[in-house]
Structure 1
Amino acid sequence: MIENIQKYVNKKMEECIINFKKNLSKIRTGRASSDILNGIFIEYYGNKTELKKVANITLENSQTLKVTPFENSIQKLIEKKIISSNLGLNPISKGNTILVKIPFLTEDRRKELVKIIKSDGEKVRISIRNIRRDAKDKIKKLLNEKVITKDKDYLFQSELQTKTNFFIKKIDTILKNKELELMKF
């Protein structure tokens, strides 16, 4: 029973970290990265399809992405979706490809992005603590039903706190690295 709770806690906390990293990868740092276009979906043959599944996305240079649609008929649609994605990007058609220049970030915008990622980091910390709280509640229930002993309860609580501290430190490290990346000129 305790093993199931431990597996659940590990899985949920790892998912929090993975989602956090995925969200941070969408925040642009002034350098081109194909991850910036993640989350853009195109209506393709009646289905909502990710951009990377209907086009090849490569780095032209450190400031430019090159998007090459697999079908020329969807090129204009891709351009419109990139413009309407609220990423502040302006695609330019060049033959059968689309060039997306990544503008340099101003210092004010960098500071604003740092505030945003710190806020997101705090939300993830809260999620980690909520997972810990749920696990503690489940263990208390087992203790009250006398399924486990007080010693097992104490041991689990100690392991749970250690695991929580580990994931919180992981979040802090990810945040620190992203902040350094954002503040580089």
Structure 2
Amino acid sequence: MPAYDKADLERRMHGAVESLKHDLGGLRTGRASASLLDPVTVEVYGAHMPLNQVATVSVPEPRMISVQVWDRSNVGPTDKAIRSAGLGLNPIVDGQTLRLPIPDLTEERRKELAKLAGQYAEKARIAARNVRRDGMDSLKTDEKKHEISEDERKRLETEVQKLTDSTIGEIDAAAQAKEKEILGQ
């Protein structure tokens, strides 16, 4: 059985792009986004739970996030979790609803976030290159075992390289779009 598995390489490269998009979604821009609160976990009922399992998160206005806590006893822990998440948000408690006004980003903070987006993109590019290396290694292994010919290996290596190039192109496009959004261009 050949070690080379094109479907597995495609799945792993797609995973690198999806992971990047998830990471970029957590970066704060000047606009409100429900995904901004995805990394927040709340300590309730003796366990750490994702915010979306104790409250409904919505975006009623471009610069406001609303968090409707289901159980009144969880309002305090939810407020504390959002404040300590390092997002720079200060909730306004209104009964069982927390309103989170999104403050303007300073120029310095915008540059930091753009730099962080670049670091996330580089991590994703490295992941894609590692997948390419694994694919090339498995092709060489298959050739050594005489499961594929040298010509077949070269053809498949070209295929793997094209897949890598298109994945890195996707990564670059996602990172550039996020940097533009952060820098307000």
Q: Same fold by TM-score, threshold 0.5 exceeded?
A: yes
For CA contacts below 8 A with separation 6 or more, give which structure has more relative contact order: 2
Q: Which residue of 2 aligns with 1:16?
A: 16
Q: Which residue of 2 aligns with 1:37?
A: 37
**Which whole-Å deviations, capped at 9, do the CAs of 1:64-105 have from their partners, x for residues lacking one?**
111011111100000000011011111110122101111110
Amino acid aligned to 1:14:
H
Q: Which residue of 1 aligns with 2:7?
A: 7
What is the number of equivalent residue pairs in this alignment?
A: 185
Q: Which residue of 2 aligns with 1:171?
A: 171
User: Alpha-carbon deviation of 1:43?
Assistant: 2.8
Q: Which residue of 1 aligns with 2:128?
A: 128
User: Alpha-carbon deviation of 1:3?
Assistant: 8.8
Most deviating of 51-60 and 154-163? 51-60
Q: Within the alignment, does 1:81 sit opposite 2:81 as a pair?
A: yes
Most deviating of 147-156 and 20-29? 147-156
Secondary structure in 2 matching 1:114 = helix
Runs of 5+ consecutive residues of structure 2 not aligned to the other structure:
none
Structure 1 segments (4+ residues) deviating >6 Å = none
User: Alpha-carbon deviation of 1:45?
Assistant: 2.8
Q: Which residue of 2 aligns with 1:56?
A: 56
User: Alpha-carbon deviation of 1:2?
Assistant: 5.4
User: Alpha-carbon deviation of 1:139?
Assistant: 1.0
Most deviating of 101-110 and 160-169? 101-110
Amino acid aligned to 1:102:
I
State the TM-score, normalized to the length of structure 2. 0.95
Secondary structure in 2 matching 1:90 = coil
State the TM-score, normalized to the length of structure 1. 0.95
Q: Do 2:70 and 2:96's aligned partners in 1 also have CA atoms closer than 8 Å? A: no
Amino acid aligned to 1:152:
E
Q: Which residue of 2 aligns with 1:159?
A: 159
RMSD (Å), alpha carbons: 1.5
Runs of 5+ consecutive residues of structure 1 not aligned to the other structure:
none
Q: Which residue of 2 aligns with 1:104?
A: 104
Q: Which residue of 1 aligns with 2:71?
A: 71
